[in-house]
């Protein structure tokens, strides 16, 4: 009987793509995908650290897996390998390794390609493994041709991030910005086309940090067979000159832009280290609407340290002015190591909940009207 693998994924699209690539490596080694945890020989939890809530969900899920190891002991069934992998492994891995003895493998985002070998070792030698290295990710990781969706593929162009927005844990768990070579990106896009996939999304924490991003877009959109090209995420601080004109001219790039503004208050934006002002942001939106004539989506944080009513109203005002097709609205939570965790988290939970709800309700109306 072939061995079975189950991967549960939390977090962003980058993580979804990571789980897909990893599953592909296992399938190439003769594994089958299990329908659920109980069927699996290997259970991997690919996690997110971006907010406390994300970590808590993953932790409680990981805790719930203990039952499988207990059953295994009492019935003498064969060993299931349980692994905590991805961003939260990097953030809290050592703690989890100490506290949860049913977790056999802890592996950070940089070392995912090594997981199949680690799992073999764990089974064979009955050991536990922890790998939180921060090396350059091996290109081999992306080589498998397994895809979750038949018509749409995600292609990573960079990992990590060096922007250090003060609230954000990503630079600590994913490391500083690292680029995949344009040639490697193109090979992967072509492989997707060969698999019959015509819609491609390029992924980076901030695609604008990719040197000559427009040049990369232009190479990718010329690949024969591509019908639709998207990219996420664009940080407003360094949208390259000419990007909107390029989007407008392109017959392939979707007329949609995810452009997170986070806060409408200049004072808060400065504390967030976002590198733009509310005026810069609104100007960008203005030129996008004029030139591309497309839709927009965004991310917003409420309750950042010291956020006063005035700051919150400035955020609300941007939602009202820009009228996004979609807005992802989050309550601030301090993340260890991120710079803002040294600021007092002084907006009460109650007020965060209230502000969160006001924006959710407002955005719901806007999205419905659209």
Binding site for ligand SAH (CB under 6 A): 50-51, 167-168, 170, 205-206, 233, 235, 260, 262, 299, 301, 330, 332-333, 335
Three-state secondary structure call for residue 370: coil
173 contacts ligand F3S (rule: CB under 6 A): yes
| Min separation Cβ 50 and ligand SAH, Å | 5
What whole-number distance in Å separates Cα of residue 104 and Cα of residue 128?
Answer: 5
9 contacts ligand SF4 (rule: CB under 6 A): no
Q: Which range of residues in 28-36, 46-54, 175-183, 294-302 is near ligand F3S by CB under 6 A?
A: 46-54
Please choose which of ligand SF4, ligand F3S, ligand SAH, none residue 51 contacts, taking the beta carbon within 5 to 8 angstroms, the exact cut-off set by kind: ligand SAH
What whole-number distance in Å separates Cα of residue 245 and Cα of residue 251?
Answer: 12
| Min separation Cβ 11 and ligand SAH, Å | 9
What whole-number distance in Å separates Cα of residue 98 and Cα of residue 93?
Answer: 9
Size of the site for ligand F3S (CB under 6 A): 12
Nearer to ligand SAH, 32 or 238 (CB): 238
| Min separation Cβ 137 and ligand SAH, Å | 17
12 contacts ligand F3S (rule: CB under 6 A): yes
Q: Which two three-digit tokens encode residue 274?
A: 């976002």
158 contacts ligand SF4 (rule: CB under 6 A): no
Among 19, 144, 235, 340, binds ligand SF4 (CB under 6 A): 235
Q: Is the separation of the CB atoms in 11 and 47 below 8 Å?
A: yes
Size of the site for ligand SF4 (CB under 6 A): 10
Q: Is the separation of the CB atoms in 360 and 329 below 8 Å?
A: yes
C-alpha distances in angstroms, 334 versus 55, 59, 154, 186, 300?
12, 17, 30, 38, 15
Nearer to ligand F3S, 96 or 314 (CB): 96
87 contacts ligand F3S (rule: CB under 6 A): yes
E strands present in the chain: 4-9, 32-33, 42-47, 81-86, 105-107, 129-131, 152-156, 158-159, 178-179, 199-203, 228-232, 256-258, 295-302, 326-331
User: How many Cβ atoms sit within 10 Å of the Cβ of residue 307?
Assistant: 24
What whole-number distance in Å separates Cα of residue 262 and Cα of residue 67?
Answer: 40
| Min separation Cβ 127 and ligand SAH, Å | 34
7 contacts ligand F3S (rule: CB under 6 A): no
Q: What DSSP element (H or E) covers 5?
A: strand 4-9
48 contacts ligand F3S (rule: CB under 6 A): yes
- Give the interface with ligand F3S as residue ranges (CB under 6 A): 11-12, 14-15, 48-50, 87, 169-170, 173-174
């Amino acid at each position: 009987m072939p061995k079975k693998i189950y991967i549960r994924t939390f977090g962003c699209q980058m993580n979804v793509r990571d789980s897909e690539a990893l599953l592909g490596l296992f399938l190439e080694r003769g594994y089958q995908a299990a329908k659920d945890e109980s069927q699996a020989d290997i259970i991997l939890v690919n996690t997110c650290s971006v907010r406390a809530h994300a970590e808590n969900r993953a932790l409680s899920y990981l805790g719930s897996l203990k039952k499988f190891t207990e059953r295994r002991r009492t019935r003498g069934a064969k060993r299931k390998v349980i692994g905590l992998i991805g961003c939260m492994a990097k953030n809290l891995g050592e703690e989890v390794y100490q506290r949860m003895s049913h977790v056999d493998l802890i592996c950070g985002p940089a070392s995912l390609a090594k997981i199949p070998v680690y799992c073999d070792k764990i089974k064979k030698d009955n050991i536990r493994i922890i790998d939180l290295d921060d090396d350059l990710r091996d290109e081999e990781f992306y080589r498998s041709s397994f895809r979750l969706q038949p018509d749409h593929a995600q292609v990573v162009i960079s990992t990590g991030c060096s922007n250090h927005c003060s609230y954000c844990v990503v630079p600590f768990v994913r490391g500083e910005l690292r680029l995949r070579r344009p040639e490697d990106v193109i090979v992967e896009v072509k492989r997707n086309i060969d698999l019959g996939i015509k819609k491609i999304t390029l992924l980076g924490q901030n695609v604008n940090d990719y040197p000559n991003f427009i040049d990369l877009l232009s190479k990718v959109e010329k690949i024969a067979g591509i019908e639709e090209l998207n990219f996420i995420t664009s940080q407003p601080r360094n949208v390259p000159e000419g990007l909107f004109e390029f989007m407008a001219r392109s017959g392939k790039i979707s007329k949609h832009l995810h452009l997170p503004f986070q806060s409408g208050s200049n004072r808060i934006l400065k504390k967030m280290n976002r590198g733009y002002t509310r005026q810069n942001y609104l100007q960008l939106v203005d030129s996008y609407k004029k030139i591309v004539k497309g839709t927009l989506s965004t991310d917003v944080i409420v309750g950042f340290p010291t956020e006063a009513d005035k700051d919150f109203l400035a955020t609300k005002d941007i939602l009202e002015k820009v009228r996004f097709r979609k807005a992802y609205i989050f309550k601030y939570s301090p993340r260890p190591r991120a710079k803002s965790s040294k600021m007092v988290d002084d907006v009460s939970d109650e007020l965060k909940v209230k502000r969160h709800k006001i924006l959710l309700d407002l955005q719901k109306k806007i999205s419905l009207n659209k």
